Amino acid sequence: MNLSLEHRRLTTVTAACARHGRALVLLPGTLMALVLACYGAGHLNSGQCLAWLLLVPGLAALLCGLRVTAFYAALTLAVYVTLRSTAPGLSLILVSSLGALVVCRARLRAGRRAARVREVADTTWRTVLRPLPSRWGDLEHAATYTAADVAARVGGDFYDIQPSPHGTRLVLGDVQGKGLDAVACAAALVGSFREAAAHEGDLAEVAVRMDARLRRHQEYVRALGSDETERFATAALLHFPPAGPDTTGTAVDLVNCGHLTPLAVSTAGVRPLAGESALPLGMLSLTDERPSATTVTLAPGETLLLFSDGVTEARDADGEFYPLYEDLARSLRTDPTLTDPGVLVSRIRAAATAHAATGLTDDTTVLAVRRAA
């Protein structure tokens, strides 16, 4: 799924939860009605009836707003007064009602704080991983992303597609480390990519610009009193030339900065994209050699698959890594629809999740692209 589809799905789930929440408001009233029915039928004595009525304000505090909780508290008090009430019982009802109002107010405040945190996380998510149209820059694509930090919703993995006058460029990268520092580094790198990919004619120069941006980010963080000189990022950059009349294949440029080798997927099988791998971003200054682009030809119908190490490092109960290449080759023999980007990323994510004994504990990204028909 792409991020725009994920956003629509989250909106639908939120609306469903809201409808479910409105139904929960009736539960305290339902409990009170059942208690009164049992008391009237003689199944509960006065003490038992009091014990059950004490639950009504507390249940309302957990499920309802402050006004509705106050309504149920007052209703509980009024109902108990109409029964054979006692002074100790009235005191218990009052204490329960006041406690319910305090708990409800604290719950609502915590909910508002959590909503603000989610809003910040969503803004960060859309900044680093902006929603992309399903067809963008002559490419059809699909992506799935799972952050190791579920609350933050974004981690050190990043990807983007950038159309340019020279063709369409895309990147998938993985920042070393986790946490907010890795998120900040990923944001700096993806911003650098969007700018450089739109203007630079040479794909290798885009990688050089990203490397320089990472080193400037390290200097900035060091000036603030932290040390990120050892932080680096792997990245695979691809360049699709403008679409032409030739349908025999597509020549694609690849610059690999220490990242996992992308795969070409078709009904004929799976093959890695050949090419040299340069040092990761942030380390290019350690050598005099400049990263170079390798040109590979994609056959008609081939889909490019890029992924982060969260996929290949998913371990089962025996400590075995997920065999992506072998599993994908085996699945293609029985399911030719895997060449569709959406089907492909969904299949890999489900397989990696099923393989991982303790779930996906690292940032996990899968991106599939192919030339749009």
Quick one: which of 306, 221, 3 has its CA closest to 125? 3
CB atoms within 10 A of CB 334: 7
Give the Cα-Cα-Cα angle 26, 28, 32 (nearest 5 degrees).
Answer: 115
List beta partners, residue 315: 321
- Residue count of the chain: 373
> How many angstroms separate the first and last alpha carbons of the chain?
19
Q: Show the CA angle centred on residue 60, arms to residues 56 and 62, nearest 5°.
A: 125
Q: What angle do CA 253, 257, 259 make, to 5 degrees?
A: 100
The 10 Å Cβ neighbour count of residue 143 is 25
pLDDT tens readout for residues 39-75: 888 888 888 888 999 999 999 999 999 999 999 999 9
Mean pLDDT by 10 residues, the chain (373 residues): 44 47 81 90 87 92 92 92 83 92 94 83 75 86 80 76 93 87 89 94 94 92 82 94 70 93 92 88 87 90 92 88 91 90 92 84 88 81
Question: Quick one: pLDDT at residue 323?
Answer: 92
Residues with Cβ within 8 Å of 280's Cβ and at least 6 positions away in sequence, in order, are 176, 232, 233, 234, 235, 257, 258, 259
Q: Spell out the residues 6+ positions from residue 24 whose beta carbon is closer than 8 angstroms to its own.
A: 63, 64
Q: Which residues on neighbouring strands pair with residue 143, listed in sequence order?
A: 367
pLDDT score recorded for residue 40: 86
- Residue-wise pLDDT tens digits, 202-219: 999 999 999 999 999 999
pTM beyond 0.85? no
Query: Tokens standing for 170?
Result: 């895309």
The pLDDT of residue 360 = 75
Contact between 183 and 152 under an 8 Å Cβ cutoff? The reply is yes
Every domain of the chain with CATH number 3.60.40.10 lies at 132-371
Superfamily of domain 132-371: PPM-type phosphatase domain (3.60.40.10)
Strand residue runs (E) in the chain: 135-136, 139-146, 157-164, 167-175, 233-240, 250-257, 263-266, 269-272, 277-278, 294-298, 303-307, 364-371
Give the C-alpha separation, 334 to 233, whole Å.
36
